[in-house]
Structure 1
Amino acid sequence: MNGFFPMIDLELRPHRKVIPAGTELWRVHHSKYAPDQFNPKLSDIHFDGGRFEGTVLDPYHSLYLADDPLTALAESVLRSRPFERPVGMRRIPYRTVWQRSLSGLRTRYDLHLVSLIEGQDLAAVCQDATLLEDEGNYARARRWSSEIRAQAPDAMGLVWESRRNRSRLALVLYHDRFEDRDGGPLEVLTDTGIADLGSQEGMKRANEILEPLRAEISEPVWQ
């Protein structure tokens, strides 16, 4: 750590969940990144950025995953997408999948994560469901991620129940918690996933995956 954290006088008692070695996980990512590459982007302290990304005050790189392809897609593309009348489908703008890929990976070794799945897990870090539900205050969530990191220096990331595909899991890994290990935490599964979600074939396959959640990627409108 760089000395900025912890900055609260609350004692956190994080619960742990282990994702075993050999577990298959899924990720939607920008196609310019390798499937197992951590996102080097840091979020703004107060405004733009992902829920649990690092900032200049705590500059870790992040990698978001889910426990199945549907959840990985849902977490990436279904934010604030309403069911449209009269057919009750959720239309996903093409721009959300352009230059993006869906990749399958397998854990090389056990991942020791802080669990935010149950109410008691959230209470253990002095939080409630707002930490995961509030779409308007990601800065607070990033701040709390750093508090958890400071008080759980062995934790490799966080795991929680997906908001967009309930009962399934989403997780984020912290790059600096793997620096003392040989090789990265994830092995890329070849011949799986969708290399180009924005292609005709990629959209077709993605829409087949998304169908149980009544969601569909819209065809691009070229100007």
Structure 2
Amino acid sequence: MREIVFDTETTGLNFSGGDRLVEIGCVELVNRVETGRVFHAYYHPERGMPAEAQAIHGLSEAFLSDKPRFADGHLTLLEFIGDAPLIAHNASFDFGFLNGELKKCGREVICLTRMIDTLQVARSRHPGAKHSLDALCSRYGIDRSHRVLHGALLDAQLLAQVYVELMGGRQIGLGLVSDVAAAAAAPTRVRAPSTIREPRLFRPSAAELVAHAAFLKTIDRPIWGAAASG
């Protein structure tokens, strides 16, 4: 099963109000294991960068000035995503910007049936707890020490680890492995041929029986003697 974990950075909170997507990072999972394939891109927002947004992700107008517009670079993104389910934290926000950009450049939007929201999953699994990405990393012991600013690819990589833990870890359902390739790659264990041994007999020798009888005679008032006389 192929899935894509992704995250976005934007100029603000409201695409319909004029904010734009400026960065996207995607991580590929197959059977909930990272394959090492990622997609990462920056986009020119065609507008200014508010100071409050730059304080979150560190992306300035100067840095983005030579980046392609989303309309000019989205085809490679769509090719990477394919038809896989898309996983994001507070996914309605990321889907809102991704679909807003796709619609703006005349492309078909991504169906929301493909959306998996890890925020909703976390609220269901851990009611009453904190559900931010940082809090979930702490809960599951995922190292986030290198996360100084928000970054789409970094956050997607962290979220991929969180998602696997939220869904029960790598041993999904503790089920049987159905992937033939995975089974073929597993190490082959060869049993050593078993040796059938004859049962060992531990019978006392005649000398041992004599010695035992002599020992019993040295015991004063044995309990078995009392039982026999009674």
Q: Give the TM-score range, shorter chain.
A: under 0.3
Structure with greater helix share of residues: 2
TM score, norm. by length of structure 1 = 0.25
Higher relative contact order (CA 8 A, sep 6+): 1
Structure with greater strand share of residues: 1
TM score, norm. by length of structure 2 = 0.25
